[in-house]
Amino acid sequence: MRPFPRDFRIRAARIFVRRNSGTRTRVGFKPVGGMYISFATNSDSQRGRHMAETRKTKLLIIGSGPAGYTAGVYASRAMLDPILVQGIEPGGQLTTTTEVENWPGDTEVQGPDLMVRMEAHAKAMGTEIIGDIITDLDLSKSPFTAKGDSGTTYLADALVLATGARAKWLGLESEEKFKGFGVSACATCDGFFYRGQEIVVIGGGNTAVEEALFLTNFASKVTLIHRRDELRAEKILIDRLMKNPKIEPLWFHQLDEVYGTDNPLGVEGVKVKHTKTGEITDIPCKGVFVAIGHAPANELVKDTLETHMGGYVVTKPDSTETSIPGVFAAGDLTDHKYRQAVTSAGMGCMAALEAERFLAEHGDDEGKDTSLPLGYGAPVKEGA
Ligand code: FAD
Ligand code: NAP
C-alpha cells in the first residue's frame, strides 16, 4: 500500500508537494547511503503567479526538457530574450530516471542532476524561466497567445513547442482503480515504497528494462511481463537484465487485471494472460509498473497543428517548422523515431536557430493572420 495520498509524490530527485493547481513547492533530499538524490529548488520566477498579467516576448518556449532548455540557451545567445515556461514536470522525463549513460561528455550522470544543470545553463545565458503551465494556445494570429495556469497571458512573436511525451497506460479499469495505490508509471518516483516486496513491470522497451533493474534496489523479486519473447531495449540493458538474479522475465503475457483490497486501496496481485493460449496466470505482487511507451504531449496543439503517427507534430524535412509559420516543434513532441535526450536537445537548437531567422524576417508582422501564410513559410534563403 502506498502511504501517501496521490498528490504527495516522492520522486527520486525531489519531493513534489502540490499545494493547488499550478502552485508547487519543490525540495530535494539525499539520504545517507541511499540512492543519489539531487537538491533542486524551483527555479526563477514564481513571481506574479497569482496575478493576471500579460507578458510580451519575441520567443516563448513551452517545456523544460532537453529540447526546451537547449532552445533557451541558443535563443538567449541570439539576444531573443526568451521566456521558457516549465510546465508540471520541470526538467522533463529525465527527472524520472537515475543513471543516464548516453549523454555525450558524461560517462554517467543522474538524469535529475543533468536537468538541473541544463536549467542553470539556460538561465545563465539569459532565458527567463517561469514555473507555470500553459493551458491554452491561440495560434490563429500573430502574436501567438498562450494562457498560463497562473493567470498570466504570454504574447509571443514566435513559439518553440517542446512539451515532450507522457507515459502511456494500458486502459484497464483495474489499472485506473489502483493508479497511485500500487500501480505506477515511474519506478524512480515510487519504487521506494516497495522495499522487500514483489513487483511486476509491464513492457519490453528501454524504460521497462531500466525500471525493472532500478526496482531490484528495493524489491525482493521483479517479474518483467512482455507480450513477445524479444525485448526492444538496448543490448547493454538486456544483458544486465538477464544477469540480474532478482528479475524473472515472463514472455508472451499481457496484463489482464490488477486486483487488491478496497479499504485501504492496495494491490495484492495481477492476472496475466498468455498471448497465444489465452491461459490466465495469477502473480501475487504489491506493485505494478506500467512501462509500455510514451505518447506525445500534444494537447495544446492537436487541433491546430498537423500531426501524424499517433499524434506527433509534423515538421518540415530537416527542420522544426510546423504547419503554422513561426511555430517550431522540437524533441519528443515531434520525434516518433529516436526519442532520446541528445536528439531532443539537437532539435531544441534547430528550433531556436530557425525562430531567430523567422523573427529576423517577420518580427514586424503583428496582427497578421497566420492562416494566410503569404510571405511566411517560404524556405529561408541560405545566409539570410
Ligand atoms: P520532455 O523531457 O518530455 O519534457 C517535456 C517538458 O514539457 C516538461 O518540462 C513538461 O513540464 C513540459 N510541458 C508539457 N506540457 C506543458 C504545458 N502545457 N505547459 C508548459 N510546459 C509543458 N533518453 C536518453 O537519451 N537517455 C536515457 O538514459 C533516457 N532515459 C530515460 C528514462 C526514462 C524513464 C524515460 C521516461 C525516458 C528516458 N529517455 C532517455 C528519453 C528522454 O528522457 C526523452 O527523449 C527526452 O526527455 C525528451 O525531451 P523533451 O525536451 O522533448 O521533452
Ligand atoms: P518503447 O520503446 O516504445 O517500448 C514500449 C514497450 O512496451 C514495447 O516493448 C512494447 O511492446 C510494449 N507495449 C506497448 N504497448 C503495449 C501494450 N498495449 N501492452 C503490452 N505491451 C505494450 O517505449 P519506452 O521504453 O518508454 O522508450 C521510449 C523512448 O525513450 C525510446 O526511444 C527509448 O529509446 C527512450 N529511452 C531511452 C533510454 C536510454 O537511452 N537508456 C531509457 C528509456 C527510454 P513491443 O516491443 O511488442 O512493441
Q: Give the CATH number, domain containing residue 280.
A: 3.50.50.60
Domains in the chain, number? 2
> Which protein residue's CA is at the shortest distance from atom 29 of ligand 2?
339
Closest protein CA for atom 47 of ligand 1: 93
Pair (283, 318) in one structural domain: no
Residue from 18, 62, 94 to probe ligand 1 pocket by mutation (most atoms less than 8 Å from CB): 94
Query: What does the pLDDT look like over 334-353, one tens digit per residue?
Result: 999 999 999 999 999 999 99
At residue 369, the pLDDT reads: 61
Given 113, 149, 157, 190, the catalytic residue: 190
Ligand 1 centroid, distance to 19 Cα (angstroms):
23
Same domain for 53 and 121, yes or no, is: yes
| Residue 14 domain-assigned (yes or no) | no
pLDDT at 30 over 90: no
- Please, what's the b/e burial string for 60-74 (b: 16 or more CB within 10 A of its CB; e: otherwise)? bbbbbbbbbbbbbbb
CA of residue 83 to ligand 2 center, whole Å: 32
8 located within any domain: no
- Per DSSP, the residues of 264-320 read TEEEEEEEEEETTT--EEEEE-SEEEE---EEE--TTTTTTS-EETTTEEP--TTS-
The Cα 169–Cα 301 span in angstroms is 21
Residue 199 has pLDDT above 90, yes or no: yes
Question: In terms of domains, do 152 and 300 share one?
Answer: yes
The closest ligand to the CA of 86 turns out to be: 1
CA 194/CA 1 separation, integer angstroms: 9
Shared domain for 113 and 130, answered yes or no, is: yes
Measured in Å, residue 300 CA sits from the centre of ligand 1 at 16
- Of the candidates 189, 285, 335, 365, the residue annotated as catalytic is 189
DSSP three-state, residue 92: helix
Last residue of one domain, picked from the residues 292, 324, 347? 292
Give yes or no: residues 57 and 132 share one domain.
yes
User: Under 8 Å CB-to-CB from 287, ≥6 apart: which residues?
Assistant: 182, 183, 184, 190, 191, 193, 194, 197, 198, 199, 200, 215, 219, 267
Residues in the chain: 384
Report which ligand 1 atom has the smallest distance to the Cα of 91: 9
Q: Is 349 a catalytic residue?
A: no
Site to substitute for ligand 2 among 224, 231, 232, most atoms within 8 A of C-beta: 232
Identify the DSSP state of 193. G
pLDDT per position as a tens digit, 277-309 = 999 999 999 999 999 999 999 999 999 999 999
96 lines ligand 1 (CB under 6 A): yes
Pick from 275, 292, 309: which residue ends a domain? 292
Domain of 160? 48-167+295-361
When pLDDT is cut at 50, 70 and 90, the band that residue 370 belongs to is low
- With cut-offs at 50, 70 and 90, classify the pLDDT of residue 17: very low
335 lines ligand 1 (CB under 6 A): no
- What residues contact 262, with CB distance under 8 A and at least 6 apart? none
In a domain, residue 68? The reply is yes
Burial class (CB in 10 A: 0-12, 13-18, 19+), 273: middle
Is 50 exceeded by the pLDDT of residue 365? yes
What atom in ligand 2 is closest to the CA of residue 100?
41
Instruction: Report d(CA 375, CA 326) in Å as an integer.
Output: 12
Cell of 198: 514483489
**CA nearest 133: which of 297, 274, 5?**
297
The yes-or-no answer on residue 136 being catalytic is: no
Which of 235, 256, 292 maximizes ligand 2 atoms within 8 Å of its Cβ, making it the mutation to test the pocket? Answer: 292
If you average pLDDT over every residue of the chain, what do you get?
86
The cell 487541433 sits on which residue?
Answer: 303
The verdict on 301 and 163 lying in the same domain is: yes
Confidence at 362, pLDDT banded by 50, 70, 90: confident
Is the domain of 249 the same as that of 238? yes
* pLDDT in the model for residue 364: 58
Reported as a single tens digit per residue, the pLDDT across 34-68 is 333 333 344 444 444 556 799 999 999 999 999 99
pLDDT tens per residue across span 145-198: 999 999 999 999 999 999 999 999 999 999 999 998 999 999 988 998 999 999
Q: Is 367 exposed, middle or buried (0-12, 13-18, 19+ CB in 10 A)?
A: exposed
Record the cell numbers describing residue 64, joined without a space. 523544460
Position 371 scores a pLDDT of: 55
The ligand 2 atom at the shortest distance from the C-alpha of residue 209 is 25
In a domain, 15, yes or no: no
Specify if 128 maps to a domain.
yes
Q: Any catalytic annotation for residue 190? A: yes
Asked, for residue 376, whether it belongs to a domain, the answer is: no
Q: Is 266 in the pocket of ligand 2 (CB under 6 A)?
A: no
The pTM of the full predicted model, rounded to 2 decimals, is 0.83
Shared domain for 303 and 257, answered yes or no, is no
Residue 281 Cβ < 6 Å to ligand 2 = no
**Nearest atom (ligand 2) to Cα of 168:** 15
Cell of 321: 517548422
